[in-house]
Chains A and B, each alone.
Chain A
Amino acid sequence: MTEALQVEHVAKRFGALTALRDVNLRLDKGEVLGLIGDNGAGKSTLIKIICGFHRPDSGRILVDGDEIVLRSVDHARSVGIDTVYQDLALVNELSVYHNMFLNRELVHWPLLNNRAMRKRAKAHLDDMGIKIPDVSIEVAKLSGGQRQEIKVARYKGCVCK
């Protein structure tokens, strides 16, 4: 059986700083893996490499057994790798549903298909039992807890492996 995700001998340096050296990781389908370490251990760097944000200096990444050079976050997402960040990902100035669809908007070219996004966002939040009075509300108006829920909901909705 091939692993959903495999990281082999990955290294990453930022100037003089070696963030990662010879990192290996295997992840089966349906497996949940915790990555634990001290501050500055390189957890975020590794995640950012896996999700296509950083390029590794050496080593390779395999998705479903095939080696893939991730060119961008979009590219990683297209092969099924997505990320939830701790606290940075929401745009306060946008509505809840725009945030949930950020950079994956439904489009009725050339316009955004707001109606469909609103509907799906609402259905999705209902499914997950998250109570947001109105998905059109600006994220700035939500409480901290509600924002966290939106972030999780945003990523549970996508095709993640």
Chain B
Amino acid sequence: MGFARTAGEALTRRREASVAVVAIGLMIYFQLSAPVFLTHDNLVNIAQAAAPTAIVAVGIVLLLVSGEIDLSVGMVFALAPFLMRYAVDFYGVPAIPAILLAFVLAAGIGFVNGFISIRLRVPSFVTTLGTFYFLQGVVLTTSHAYPAEIPEPARGDIQRWLGAGDWAELTWCLIIVGVFHVVLTRTRWGLHTISVGGNLLGATEAGIKATRIKIGNFMITSVLGAFAGIMEAFRVNTIDPNLGGGTGVTFTAISAAVIGGTALAGGSGTVIGAFLGAVVLAELQNGFNLIGISANPFFLVLGTAILVSMVANQYLSRLRRAGRT
């Protein structure tokens, strides 16, 4: 009884815990129904599916917590590898500076998203819907809708360390998740991010520069999207205009954040939860594949998972508010 109660309290208090339980439960279930699930090769598959989503989801969490959203990040994901390629192939920039240049340009895109949303007061949902299509236009026009090869100078070690290695994406993902977990929970930036999302007027009156915090989070999200996109291009060994499947990455990342316990209303969210959310989604997709269910019902499960976790989230936060936990 005592243990059950403590566990119950932990579940309601730490939002990550319930997602962790689901992730472990799925792992056990799939391992029992398809014993290849926990083999090395398959774990690599899951890691490679979860990592890019989780990296993008980290940015999405920061934005959702500060009361904004970015739909365009999935297109930054596809654009960034092209930016790197153009810098290398057309301007002769070495590989690493070319990647950094892609990050800088991504940060610029994030700045534009933030500037239009915050300074010009266009809801970020609409702003980033616009930039999403605009960037899609940039990707398709500049690439002529054709995939390209990874530029020669970026191959070898760089490609391996930044995506193609078995555990490269997961390693970077864990570093990013760790860093931003600390940023969100233990730094002024995180505290102010929560404040502007939780009580914008109150935060501004306390002297917090909400514009700077929000635009900063748009920039972080874009750069994380670019990083994940470049790693994904390295991994699949081609630069594809359809990398991430258009809206695919954006929506999976938002789903991961939401399943992980981040509220769309702003003010609360967890980076670790989003990571676990991405793991759950990757497990589902992979496991369904292994036990021979077609990819189609995956979306039934995804939809149900989002709805159930949101309803549970509402219920739990009401419980927390009431102080009963």
Contact = CB atoms under 8 A, between A and B. Distances in A.
Contacts of B194: 91, 93-94
Interface string B8-33: 00000000000000000000000000
Interface string B176-200: 0000001000111001101101110
B188 A102 contact: no
Interface in A57-77: 72-74, 77
Nearest to A87: B202
Contacts of A90: 199, 202
Contacts of A91: 194-195, 198-199, 202-203, 267
Given A77-B207, A89-B202, A102-B195, 5 more contacts: A73-B204, A91-B195, A91-B198, A91-B202, A114-B186
B198 A111 contact: no
Nearest to B323: A141
Contact of A89 (B192, B197, B205): B205
B320 interface: yes
A160 interface: no
Contact of A93 (B182, B188, B192, B198): B198
B40 interface: no
A119 B318 CA distance: 29
**Which of A83, A94, A107 gathers the greatest number of chain B CB atoms within 10 Å?**
A94
A98 B207 CA distance: 14
A73 B206 contact: yes
B199 A103 contact: no
A103 B204 CA distance: 10
Nearest to A48: B205
A78 to B, nearest CB: 10
Contacts of A140: 320-321
Interface in A95-128: 98, 102-103, 105, 107, 110-112, 114
B320 A103 contact: no
A53 B208 CA distance: 11
Interface of B: 182, 186-188, 191-192, 194-195, 197-199, 201-208, 267-268, 320-321, 323
B207 A103 contact: yes
A85 B203 CA distance: 12
B202 A85 contact: yes
Contact of A98 (B191, B202, B208, B320): B191
Contacts of A111: 182, 186-187
Contacts of A138: 320
A88 interface: yes
B235 to A, nearest CB: 31
Contacts of A98: 191
A52 B25 CA distance: 54
Contact of B191 (A74, A77, A105): A105
B207 A94 contact: no
Contact of B192 (A53, A83, A103): A103
Nearest to B324: A141
**Which of B188, B194, B206 gathers the greatest number of chain A CB atoms within 10 Å?**
B206
A92 B208 CA distance: 16
List the 6 closest pairs (A to B, CB-CB), nearest first: A73-B207, A93-B198, A93-B267, A74-B207, A91-B198, A141-B323
A88 B203 CA distance: 9
Contacts of B267: 91-93
Given A91-B267, A94-B194, A112-B188, A83 B199 contact: no
A18 to B, nearest CB: 23
Contacts of A83: 205
A112 B195 contact: no
Contacts of A94: 191, 194-195, 198
B320 A53 contact: no
Nearest to B268: A93
Nearest to B196: A91
Given A91-B198, A93-B198, A94-B191, A102 B203 contact: yes
A73 B207 CA distance: 5
A53 B202 CA distance: 12
A107 B188 CA distance: 8
Contact of B206 (A102, A107, A141): A102
